[in-house]
Amino acid sequence: MLSLSIVFLKEDFENSQEYLLAMQDKHKRAQNIKGTKIILAGGSNLVFGIDSEQIQKELHTPVVNFGLHAQLGLSFILNEVQDIAKPNDIVILSIEHLMPTEGDPELQKITSYYNPSAYSYSSQKKTGWLEKFKKISGNHQMLFKKTISNFIEKKEPDQVYRRDAFNRFGDGINHLELPSKTLGSRSILKERSYKQIELFNRFYKFALDRGIRVVFTYGAYEQSEYQKNKKVLQENHKILKQHLKIEMIMDIDDFVYPTPYFYDSVYHLNKIGRVEHTKNLIQKIQNCATLAHLNNERKNTHNRNIESTSQKNQ
Which residues lie below 8 Å from residue 193, measured CB to CB, with a gap of 6+? 101
Q: Would residue 195 count as lying in a domain?
A: yes
CB 24 within 8 A of CB 111: no
Q: CA torsion sign, 174 to 177 to 179 to 180?
A: positive
Q: What is the CB-side half-sphere exposure of residue 73 using CA atoms within 13 A?
A: 22
- Parallel, antiparallel, or unpaired for β 213-218 and 221-222? unpaired
User: What H or E segment, with its residue span, contains residue 257?
Assistant: strand 256-257
How far, in Å, CA of 204 to CA of 178, rounded? 38
Note down pLDDT in tens along the chain; length 314 residues. Answer: 444 444 445 577 888 999 999 999 999 999 999 999 999 999 999 999 999 999 999 999 999 999 999 999 999 999 999 999 999 999 999 999 999 999 999 999 999 999 999 999 997 655 454 454 444 444 444 443 444 344 344 456 689 999 999 999 999 999 999 999 999 999 999 998 899 999 999 999 999 999 999 999 999 999 999 999 999 999 999 999 999 999 999 999 999 999 999 999 999 999 999 999 999 999 999 999 999 987 666 555 545 554 554 455 55
Q: Would residue 8 count as lying in a domain?
A: no
Q: What is the CB-side half-sphere exposure of residue 89 using CA atoms within 13 A?
A: 26
What is the arrangement of strands in the sheet containing 38-42, beginning at the earlier edge strand? 63-65, 38-42, 90-95, 213-218, 247-248
Q: Would residue 276 count as lying in a domain?
A: yes
How far, in Å, CA of 90 to CA of 210, rounded? 11
- First-to-last C-alpha distance (Å) of the chain: 83
How far, in Å, CA of 74 to CA of 266, rounded? 19
Q: Pinpoint the alpha helices (H) of the chain.
A: 2-7, 22-32, 44-49, 52-59, 74-84, 105-114, 129-153, 194-209, 223-228, 230-243, 271-287, 292-313
Q: Would residue 14 count as lying in a domain?
A: no
Domain residues for the domain of 93 are: 19-103+166-313
Q: Would residue 12 count as lying in a domain?
A: no
How far, in Å, CA of 251 to CA of 27, rounded? 31
CATH number at residue 77: 3.40.50.1110
Total count of domains within the chain: 1
Q: Would residue 126 count as lying in a domain?
A: no
How far, in Å, CA of 250 to CA of 275, rounded? 18
Q: Would residue 211 count as lying in a domain?
A: yes
How far, in Å, CA of 179 to CA of 85, rounded? 36
CB atoms under 10 Å from CB of 151, counted, come to 8
Q: Would residue 83 count as lying in a domain?
A: yes
Q: Please, is 42 exposed, middle or buried when counting C-beta atoms within 10 Å of its C-beta (0-12, 13-18, 19+)? A: buried
